[in-house]
Amino acid sequence: MPYIVAAGMSRIAKRKETGAELFLEAFREIKEMAEINEVDAVYVGVQSENYEHQIMYGALLAEYANLLPCEAYRVEACAASGALALHNAYVAVKSGMYKRVLAVGVEKMSGKKTEEVIDLLMAASDYYLDQLNGVTIPAHYAMIATRYMHDYGATEEDLFLVAKKNHDNAMKNPKAYLRKSITYEEYVASKPVAKPIKMLDCSPICDGAAVALVVDDTVVSEYSSSQPVKILASTVASDTLSISKRHDITTATAVKLACEKAYRQAGLKPKNIHVAEVHDAFTINEIIIYEAMGYAEKGEGYKLLREEVTTLYGEKPVNPSGGLKARGHPIGATGLAQVYELYMQLTGRAEQRQVDAETGIAINEGGVNSTAVVHILEAA
């Protein structure tokens, strides 16, 4: 059984530090929880050649953390890279190959202009079908939102409820980027990006890092000063890169399949999950993930927001961290930032945003729900 025995995260914001320095900020938090003298491997989720003209990020961070000469390399699935790093760590430990693995997610994005970031993120869509036709990632989600609202009766006010909930939660998270509430008037007046997607529907460009130390059950007792959390499931599923090839663009099929595999692996059902961190890079995505993860029937995800089911103290709290929308979305770091929040929740360290939870699910996706990585954690 793989365990997370310590987790750390930098403050998420537009930061002057390098990606490696942000990693060290998160790594220092881990070292306060557990003594780390050596690990068997370091897996890093990052898009660093895009933002810092830097590859070989695994060796770089192992050097910064004084963990050489361990196995160290980068993994990539765009915005799912951080969770994929944790999946690699889980597989390495679960297989018995390694006993101690450090999973890292990091990104330094703010050095690029907004239009440059949008162009770089378009690389997560099909070059010939999407990029050459100028279909940006926000445009993809605009098409999804338009179709969903047409088919199921959701409104822009439902999108606002996602943004408002997550901004409210971020106000209780000292490491979140956008720690401010928003009104419906501010939301409606925010700059249009791709109708009906507005600026306040989008996660912000920012910088940050998050880390988790994964160990097997033969050494977990060595970390008695920390609080271990069990990794009950770690799964991956993928869909077409271009949404133009999908039968139904309003269904997050990869998320649905990865969640179904994770529930089977963990021996749980959606009703057994107490807290969730899901991929709300755009507000519509949180709604369709509710349905893909089994929290709501198809076409009814937005009703959970109207009924306040997913608010911080609702029946099924979602994104207590503030989510990508308000905590921030440094691309490579996001998957492990989600897991960091679950670790804090399941060990009772989430302070003002603490909910009553013994199990949690993290749902991270890359591209436009093209690769989904799901983790289910349980308090030990």
278 with 170, same domain?
Answer: yes
Query: Could you give the CA distance from residue 57 to residue 75 in angstroms, rounded to a whole number?
Result: 10
Residues 26, 12: one domain?
yes
DSSP 86-97: HHHHHHHHHTTS
The answer to whether residues 362 and 346 touch, using CB atoms and an 8 Å cutoff, is no
The reply to whether 258 and 223 lie within a common domain is no
Whole-model pTM over 0.85: yes
Beta bridge partner(s), residue 197: 194
Q: Which pLDDT belongs to residue 36?
A: 87
Q: Give the tens place of pLDDT for each residue, 1-34.
A: 999 999 999 999 999 999 999 999 999 999 988 8
Whole-angstrom Cα Rg for the chain? 19
Looking at the structure of the chain, the number of domains it has is 2
Residues 269 and 305 in one domain: yes
In tens, the pLDDT along 268-306 reads 999 999 999 999 999 999 999 999 999 999 999 999 999
pLDDT in the model for residue 50: 87
Q: What confidence score (pLDDT) does residue 187 get?
A: 98
> What tens digit of pLDDT does each residue of 33-68 get?
888 889 999 999 999 888 999 999 999 999 999 999
Residue 224 pLDDT > 80: no
- The CATH code of the domain that includes 368 is 3.40.47.10
275 and 338 fall within a common domain = yes
Mark whether 219 and 246 lie in a shared domain: no
Q: What is the pLDDT, as a whole number, of residue 176?
A: 98
Q: What are phi and psi of 99, to 5 degrees?
A: -105, -25
Question: Do 138 and 68 lie in a common domain?
Answer: no
**Residue 153 is which amino acid?**
G
Nearest alpha-carbon partner for 282 in 368, 153, 165, 370: 368
Distance CA 90, CA 93 (A): 5
Which range marks the domain in which residue 16 is found?
3-112+206-229
| Range 211-218 average pLDDT | 96
Does 215 lie in the same domain as 146? no
- pLDDT, residue 249, reads 98
Q: What is the mean pLDDT of residues 241-245?
A: 96
Examine the domain organization and report whether 147 and 273 are in the same domain: yes
What pLDDT, on the 0 to 100 scale, is given for residue 226?
77
Residues 327, 248: one domain?
Answer: yes
- The predicted structure's pLDDT at residue 225: 72
